[in-house]
Amino acid sequence: MTSVALRGLRHLPVAAFLFSSLLVGAAAHAQYRDAEEKTWTEAEAPLPASFNTDNLQPFDVSVNSALRYGIDPATLSVGTDGVVRYVLVARSSSGALNALYQGVRCETAEYKTYGRWDNQSSWNTSDKDGWRPLSFSGPSRPAMMLAQGGICDGRTINGSAQKILTALKKGPSSQQH
């Protein structure tokens, strides 16, 4: 063997040690992340006794939407479990109203519908309503626009309910990225 090849072999144990340390560190990080995800517990989310459609905080979902969207500021809350909950109201030009009690979890970019207003005096719930990914298309678009418009700052909550309302009033351009 040449002396150059021998010098290269001298560094092999060091390289192997560094590589194995990297693998152990990555595995430890993955275990920590998995343990952290497994320990999250969702707080109870009782359905609101009522909501008010007179003072809704409006927000845009789409320029082409036939519906006007808003949330009842009195129902906006930041839970100790990292979920921001609110009553979402969608109203058509004819006056038809749909109301949903929803939550957004910024950390995982997900939303959940806890209940749907029956337009009389109570909420309907479904066992099928679980956490779903936020998206700019389909039924998650209103929750995504709220998340982007003031509820979330990246993967974290944008502060208190009051701070979130202030950000929603200013619109998405007020969010700093």
Taking 80 as the threshold, does the pLDDT of residue 49 lie above it? yes
Sign of CA dihedral 62, 67, 68, 71: negative
Sign of CA dihedral 160, 101, 46, 81: negative
Taking 90 as the threshold, does the pLDDT of residue 29 lie above it? no
Average pLDDT (99-104) is 97
**Taking Cα atoms as reference points, which of 86, 76, 151 lies closest to residue 113?**
86
Distance CA 11, CA 151 (A): 52
Six token digits for residue 145: 């626009």
SS3 69: strand
Phi-psi region of 133 (alpha: psi -120 to 50; beta: other; left: phi over 0): beta
Amino acid at 175: Q
Per CATH, the number for 57-174 is 2.40.128
Average pLDDT (52-60) is 94
Angle between helices 3-10 and 12-38 (to 10 degrees): 30
What's residue 12's pLDDT?
Answer: 46
**Taking Cα atoms as reference points, which of 131, 152, 135, 153 lies closest to residue 61?**
135
Average pLDDT (116-124) is 88
**pTM, 2 dp:** 0.75
Amino acid at 89: V
Work out the mean pLDDT of the chain and round it to a whole number. Answer: 83
Taking 80 as the threshold, does the pLDDT of residue 31 lie above it? no
Distance CA 2, CA 8 (A): 10
Taking 60 as the threshold, does the pLDDT of residue 34 lie above it? no
Listed as own residue / partner, the contacts of 124-133 with beta carbons closer than 8 Å and 24 or more positions apart are 125/47, 131/105, 133/109
What's residue 18's pLDDT?
Answer: 41
